Amino acid sequence: MKIITGGAGFIGSAISWRLNQLGIKDILLVDADVAGTKKNNLENLLYSDLIDKDNFIKKISLDDISFKVETIYHMGACSSTTEQDMEYLKANNFEYSKHLAKWSIRNSVRFIYASSGATYGDGSMGFEDDEKLIPKLTQLNKYGLSKQMFDIWLLENKMLDKVVGLKYFNVFGPNENHKGDMRSMVNKSYSQIEKTGKMQLFKSYRNEYKDGEQKRDFIYVKDAVEMTIFFDGINQIGYNKNGIYNIGAGRASSWNEMAYALFKALGKEPVIEYVEMPDNIKNQYQYYTEANITKLRRAGYEKPVMSLEESVIDYVVNYLMKDKYLSIND
């Protein structure tokens, strides 16, 4: 059985989608959302069961798992980059992860977990997924710090070479509608353009970047998931590869480029308005991110990554415009 924490969420449900396409249906989803506010993400997917995350961790703590587990995809976390409650972040993103990692290693279960590109902070140390650099990184927000804490804990306890940590960069795509303000800019801007005919981007406050020329490594969720399952037993090439890996497109694109792709997908002329950045994020704003995916390539991952324009068009035309979620037939 495959277990996916955060299984009703964005990347978690997309992993189920891809596993279904590969003929895998024996999947246990773990999420806080068992009541169903993310139910649209799961409507077209096949899985064995969905259980509450607190009940699941109790079973793990009591070693009360009666079935054979092959892999745990640990995608569950508080992913809000503006969350200020450090105790909440520590409980959800650090302590919970520690319990799962120890159980997985003790029971010889493949453990693949979500770290984050936010651990790189302002990028002054670069974006290379070298475990030796982890202790030197400084984060810009408490979310990034909570992810960094777990990476360091694994490193200090000599566990990082027994698991796979994936530093996701700016992932966007189907099944993110439930994320509210944490939705991707592609998703939010699609709605904005439909309502107002224009798109808003933050002004730049650094001379080296013109308005809208701040850059991000945007990666489509379909590519991110393909990279993720590369490390599972489905693919023997990646099964014995452990440690930290970046999950990104390996190229930086500007917000303006993303905007142009979005307007192109909608068949509209670009109308962009540059607005003031809120004071509460000015000091933690990343002006540039670009995942170095050399290590992933060296591990044997050979599939090409969709271009930003291709990704945005697929997302808009095949999902947003149709109000559609990932389906096994996609």
The amino acid at residue 222 is: K
**In the structure encoding, which two tokens stand for residue 227, read together?**
């990279």
131-152 burial, b at 16+ Cβ within 10 Å, e below that, comes to: eeebeebebbbbbbbbbbbbbb
Q: Taking the mean position of all CA atoms in its chain, how far away is CA 99?
A: 21
Report how far apart, in Å, the C-alpha atoms of 196 and of each of 153, 190, 199, 271 are: 47, 10, 8, 10
Among 143, 168, 190, 315, which one carries the catalytic annotation?
143
Among 39, 179, 203, 264, which one carries the catalytic annotation?
179
φ, ψ for residue 252 (rounded to 5)? -95, 130
The residues, ordered by sequence, that sit 6+ positions from 314 with a Cβ below 8 Å of its Cβ are 220, 222, 306
The Cα–Cα gap between 81 and 101 comes to 23
Closest CA to 30 of 91, 80, 77: 77
The residues, ordered by sequence, that sit 6+ positions from 40 with a Cβ below 8 Å of its Cβ are 175, 177, 178, 325
Contact between 301 and 238 (Cβ < 8 Å): yes
Contact between 275 and 200 (Cβ < 8 Å): yes
Q: What is the DSSP letter of 180?
A: G
CB-count burial class (<10 Å; 0-12, 13-18, 19+) for 284: middle
φ, ψ for residue 224 (rounded to 5)? -60, -40
Catalytic (active site) residue 239: no
| Axis crossing angle, helix 53-61 with helix 96-106, rounded to the nearest 10 | 50
Catalytic (active site) residue 179: yes
| Catalytic residue list | 143, 179
